[in-house]
Amino acid sequence: MVKCDYCGKEVSLPFTCPLCGRKFCVDHHLPENHNCPRIDEAKPPYVKTTTSDTSSMSEETEWTPLFPLRERPTSRIRRGFNFSRKEVLHLTIAAILTALIALSFQPELAISLRGVFLAVVMPISFLLHEIAHKFTAQRFGIWAEFRLMLFGVLLTLFSLVSPFKILAPGAVMIASPTNMEEEGKISVAGPLVNLFLGIFFWGLYYLYTQFQTVLCIGIFLNGFIALFNLFPVGILDGEKVLHWNKVIWGATFMLALFLTIFGGWVCL
């Protein structure tokens, strides 16, 4: 077994980078995925094309890319927090979809205090989660913007009439090489915002007892969003956080679990 030089995972068949010569797992074998110091030397594959000029009976040889390189930022950008107009539009649509999902849970309560509170808090909790990812990435000088995903939007729209609710209209896209620590910090930023909001509503729950039946929704909702995203599987935040720092992952996961259980229990 050989350890990946980037994440430390043990693999039986490691990949050797042709540029830096180090060994990596399947997730980090590409130069852009392990922050290869010689990534600038990477070249796309080329194909030789030949054209003949019959009038002059001369042959001209031209080299053109076989696979055009996708245009995206490959280097760090100037640090700062900003939104593009396209991103603002995507965030607005995502907020509307999230509010509609919130109202679809119990349509008969849409005009009640609980319904209005859920329709306001749910989009805020979702958007702040995504914006936390974005701002943390930008803090490292990494290009990051929220984008709607067609399949996710269709799935969310289907949830409006389905008893099973799925909220996945989009996510923050990152287009620069990152190391394991940066990935971990970017990933944990979203759940941390939800944990902060959950604790905030928990405090209000005891300060304003007359609104406990409403405030418990904020506790449960943010606890659940954090808990779901911290599961260390697939593309969820938890996988990157766990690989980066097991202590931080364990602490945030347990706090999210507590807020979810407490919020669900007091809301019953």
What are the domain boundaries of the chain? Answer: 1-49+59-71, 85-267
145 belongs to the catalytic site: no
Note the pLDDT of residue 49.
44
pLDDT band at 197 (very low <50, low <70, confident <90, very high): very high
What gap in Å lies between CA 232 and CA 247, rounded to an integer? 13
- Measured CA to CA in angstroms, residue 15 lies from 18, 93, 176, 180, 216 at distances of 9, 42, 21, 18, 50
Point out the catalytic residue in the list 71, 87, 130, 145. 130
Architecture of domain 1-49+59-71: Irregular (4.10)
Torsion, Cα 31 69 171 80, to 10 degrees, reads 80
**Range in 46-60, 81-95, 108-122 the model is least confident about:** 46-60
The structure's pTM equals 0.69
In the chain, what is the straight-line distance between the N-terminal and C-terminal CA atoms, in Å? 50
What are the structure tokens assigned to 96, written together? Answer: 């509307």
Q: What is the pLDDT of residues 87-109, one digit of tens each?
A: 999 999 999 999 999 888 877 66
